[in-house]
Every structure is written in C-alpha cells, then in structure tokens.
Amino acid sequence: MNAGHSAEQRTSAPPFLAGENPAQERYHEASELFALLDYLKALGFGVFSIRESLQAVGERIDGTLQGFHLSADEARQCIAYMDSLGVGVVELPAYPANRYGQALNHTLLAEARAAGLAIEFAAHARCVEGDIRAAWEAGFRRVHLYIGTSKIKQATARKTIEQIAATAARSIVFARGLGFSSVRISTEDAFRTTLDDYEAFYTHLAGALDAAGVQVEGIGIPDTVGLSTLRELGDRIAVLRRVGLPFQFLECHIHNDIGNADRTYVDTLMLCMRLGITMLPDFSILGIGERNGTIGLSSLLESIYRRLIVLYPRKMPQIRQAMREKLGTLPSGELFVNRYRDMDAFFYRIMARTGFVFDRSPFSANTEFDGSGVHADTTMRAFLLAQSEGMDGQDAVDQGNSAYAGALPPYDMPLRTPVLACFGCGKSNVRYWRERSGLALRPEPELRAHVNDLDDLEDFDASQPLTESAIDELIAQLIRCYSIKQNGISHQDAMELVGMFYAPIDETVPVAASAAWPD
C-alpha cells in the first residue's frame, strides 16, 4: 500500500540542510517534515470540508450568535480554489430532508463535472438509509459515513457495540448496492470511545463486511476535542491492523479546542508517512467549525514551516524559499503559495460580508455560548445519564462535559449551551431557547394550521401527535432548510419560527401530560 512513498523519498535531505550535521536528531526530523510536502501533494492534501465550515458557531457584529453560511456562488469559488490547488476531495453534507440543500449539492456537482474539475466530492452522512440515498440521488459517488460508538452513544441509543457495528455494516452494504465507488466509515469520536469498544466495533464490523463480501476504502479516526496523543492514535491504528479490516486510506479530523490541532495533524501525518499509510487530513475554511474547528490548509502548511524554523532558526530565509519551490507552480502558472494566500483572502472577505466574528480561543468570553446542536445534545444526555446513575452536583456536570467538552475546564463551561446555529441546528437548540424564554406549545388547532401552511416540509408525518419533541424537531428542520434557502438566517428569524409554534405560557392552553414524548 502506498508504494510511491519510499524510504528514499522520506529521508532525502532538503537543500537548506546542506552543510548541517546529518547525525543530529533535528536533521532527521527536518528531513521528514520537509518530505511531508511531497506526501501531501501526492495525496491531494486531504479533504476540504465545506460541511465542517458551515457548522461554525460564532458571534455576529450585532451580538447575536449563529452559523457561517456560503452562497451558491461562494461555494463554487471555494471548490474552484481547492481544485486549482490540487486538493483531492471536497466534503459536503448529505441533505435527506432539505430540498434546497439537496438541490444545491446536485447543482455544485453537476457544474464541477461539466467544467472538467478533477476534484472528487464526498457526502458526509449518518449510517441512515435516507442520508445515503439522498447522497446518491444528488450525484455523489463517494460517501463518508459516521456512527457514534462512545459509552454515551451506546447508552442513549440503547444499543450494544455489536448492534452499532451491525448498523454500520448494513449502511456500508446499502451504499455498495447503490454503486458508491468509495465508502469511508468513521466512529463519531475515536478518542471518546474506549479502546476495548473501539476494537470490538471494528472486530464485529470486519466480520460482517467479510460475510457480505464488501469492503470500505477509508477509515475515519476523528478527534472532536483535539485531546488525542500520537500514542493513542498508534493504539487505534494497531487495532485496525489486528482485526484485519482492509482499507486504502485513513482520514484524520481533529478539532482545535486546546490549540493543539496543528501539531497533532503534523505528528499524525509523519507517523502515517513512516508506516506507508495514506492519511488524509480534514480541513476547513480558516480553521473554523463547530466550536474550535479543524485547521485550514494554510495552517497545516504553515505548521510544517514553523516547526522547521524551530529546528533551524537561523535558516528561516532558506526554509521559506525551499518550501515555496517544493510547493511549486500550478498548471495555471501561478505559484502555489500565492494561490492559497488569495484563497484565504477570499475566505476573510466572506466572513466580513456575513459579519461573522470567530474567536478560536476555547477560553474566550463566548465559551459559555459555544456549541452546536449535536454536541449540545450529547453533553446534556451525558449529564442526564449521570444523574440517572446517582451522580449529582458537580460530578454530574463533569460527566456531562466529558462527553464532548473534556478539553475545557468545568468552570468555563458548566454544561454546553446550545445556540441556534442554523445549518447545524438540532432540536436541543430549539428546546434550550424556548425553555429559556418560558414558552409553551400553542393550542393544537393552531399547531395543525401552521403545519398545514408550510411549503418546506420534508419527511415530516403531519398526522403524528404534535408534542414538544416533534415540534422541536420540526422547527430545527425548518431552520436548517431556510438557512440554505436564504443563505443564512438571523437568530431573530430563527426565533420567529419558534414563535409560530410556541408562545408565553399565559397565552397558551396547558398541554396534557400524556401527550409528551420522551426524548
């Protein structure tokens, strides 16, 4: 596997090391760091995740909190930049219940193919048939599947690791049956899953796939709080080898909660280069994403540069020139480094247009408001589960935080507060805001009337009991839908959608307790 990455390529000395002592450890480290540039170029640099970028949560200039949005034209320009730089894969979200998002995916893929772009597109999808089918119908032929395997996911899904692995296997078989040419499977957070559960999951999965006669191309090893160590990564690679699950590439997805993602990405890439494993880093627009996101391409390349400077501080001009020459000239004749500089400038202009203020520090004043629907929901589920098991007070809070926010001190974030992040909005966000505002469901005739008047509903059973849980999910779906249709909506717009179905308690009729569904 990866025969093109030979030992000779990995150890050839870069030009700035001429005259330096080859017996020094820093000489060998610098050689390997410089070789990463060839390694990354050969692998198409990795996966640029528009999906990750869209789930950014931050403060607007007007003080409201919401997600980051791209217009169709901006998405096309992002894709054009990535293609021109030689990036191999752009990842977009699957939109099983959003006609506007689904139409945008279909258009972006069709236009890219008509333009002859070489870039591949991957749909980010749950191990759910609706997600996978929507990805196929939009034109994707590569799908990145994910499923939760941590203790909290097992508890809240009420499934064992073996049952979760069976769900993943069925999804992979279904994707293969549709005709996807590349399938990646990922545990939702490899480092929040115990090593025993990680091995059990992949053991069961390998057996199920072998029995079905199918394989996956890729394995995702995500770290959604940026706490993993190189040793822990090695443990998980060893598990994959031990269970005998074949794969062609690994993909790493590392958030930057504690500001460590740059170094972790580089360490991860160097380890995989030594092992002859194809590792695709997952990066986003300027390193934004839900909470503190995955790094940007420029951050990854600059991280290599900074580490080389630390090793040879007196060689800064030579290192800079060597990197520029190694990254080379694009087919257009433009220097690679100039093209990605212009790309970052384009990204900053988008942020300026949207009035989006993103502070990548996990200890900023905005920390208490940080979070997205999925992450907030998992944190709260872990907290409630801890309480059901007899934990109380700070112990229960700490357990809740550990589900996703283990990187942050408890005093900074007692429990993750969900914000209306538009594209990333979930029903936990809606529940938080209507409870905070003291709202209750409107009378059922009003609810039915509003539901019947909506034109943008997909996959919603209007005949079901209109409980708080059902309405919260409906509102979250509408927020996600309109955030695509209108290229982002404000927090106030989202709250107006909440107000269609909820009102101050003194304006509503009490809802019978028997109507409520458990989450």
Q: What is the CATH number of the domain that holds 130?
A: 3.20.20.70
Are 126 and 201 within one domain? yes
Lowest mean pLDDT of 3-7, 176-180, 344-348, name the range.
3-7
Are 395 and 501 within one domain? no
Establish how many alpha carbons lie within 13 A of residue 94's alpha carbon, considering only the half-sphere containing its beta carbon. 24
Q: How far is CA 157 from the centre of its chain?
A: 21
Task: Tell me the mean pLDDT in the region 282-286.
Answer: 93
What pLDDT score does 72 carry?
A: 93
Q: Among residues 399, 416, 433, which one ends one of the domains?
A: 416
DSSP-assigned letter for residue 12: P
Q: Looking at the 3D structure of the chain, how many domains does it have? A: 3
Are 180 and 315 within one domain? yes
Residue 231 within a domain: yes
What pLDDT score does 2 carry?
A: 44
pLDDT at 194 over 50: yes
What pLDDT score does 360 carry?
A: 55
Lowest mean pLDDT of 175-189, 222-236, 240-254, 447-461, name the range.
447-461
* 90 vs 405, higher pLDDT: 90
Residue 453 within a domain: yes
Q: Are 5 and 42 in contact (CB under 8 A)?
A: yes
In angstroms, the Cα distances linking 476 to 128, 422, 428, 439, 440 are: 19, 8, 9, 16, 16
Are 505 and 380 within one domain? no
Phi first, then psi: what are they for 225, rounded to 5°?
-130, 0
Give per-residue pLDDT as tens, 115-162: 999 999 999 999 999 999 999 999 999 999 999 998 888 988 889 999
pLDDT at 285 over 60: yes
Give per-residue pLDDT as tens, 417-451: 667 767 778 888 888 888 888 999 999 999 999 98
Are 395 and 459 within one domain? no
Query: What are the tokens at 323?
Result: 């990197």
Are 306 and 347 within one domain? yes
pLDDT at 516 over 50: no
In angstroms, the Cα distances linking 318 to 16, 303, 313 are: 6, 16, 10
pLDDT at 231 over 90: yes
DSSP-assigned letter for residue 190: T
What pLDDT score does 6 carry?
A: 44
Query: Percentage of residues in the chain with pLDDT exceeding 90?
Result: 59
Map residue 296 onto helix, strand or coil: coil
Are 466 and 482 within one domain? yes
What residues contact residue 121 under an 8 Å CB cut-off, 6+ apart?
Answer: 89, 90, 91, 92, 108, 109, 112, 139, 140, 141, 142
Burial of 505 (0-12, 13-18, 19+ CB in 10 A): exposed
Residue 21 within a domain: yes
pLDDT at 366 over 60: no
Give per-residue pLDDT as tens, 384-405: 888 999 999 888 888 887 776 5
Are 213 and 268 within one domain? yes
Q: Among residues 357, 372, 405, which one ends one of the domains?
A: 357
What pLDDT score does 462 carry?
A: 76
CA distance 493 to 463: 27
Task: Tell me the mean pLDDT in the region 84-96.
Answer: 95
Average pLDDT, rounded, for the chain: 87
Lowest mean pLDDT of 9-13, 340-344, 487-491, 514-518, name the range.
514-518
What pLDDT score does 407 carry?
A: 52
Task: Tell me the mean pLDDT in the region 350-356.
Answer: 83
Residue 145 within a domain: yes
* 167 vs 386, higher pLDDT: 167
Residue 383: pLDDT band (50, 70, 90) is confident
pLDDT at 365 over 50: no
pTM given for the model: 0.89
Are 371 and 463 within one domain? no
Residue 290: pLDDT band (50, 70, 90) is confident
Are 378 and 330 within one domain? no
Residue 2 within a domain: no
Residue 1 within a domain: no
What pLDDT score does 406 carry?
A: 52
Domain around 465: 425-511+515-519
Angle subtended by helix axes 316-327 and 25-42, to nearest 10: 20
Residue 172 within a domain: yes
Q: Are 123 and 143 in contact (CB under 8 A)?
A: yes
Query: What are the tokens at 490?
Result: 């404000």
Are 296 and 312 within one domain? yes
What residues contact residue 279 under an 8 Å CB cut-off, 6+ apart?
Answer: 43, 249, 250, 251, 252, 268, 269, 272, 273
Alpha helices in 276-392 (DSSP H): 297-311, 316-327, 336-354, 373-388
Residue 458: pLDDT band (50, 70, 90) is low
Residue 159 within a domain: yes
Task: Tell me the mean pLDDT in the region 66-79.
Answer: 91
pLDDT at 228 over 90: no
Are 377 and 457 within one domain? no
* 217 vs 57, higher pLDDT: 217
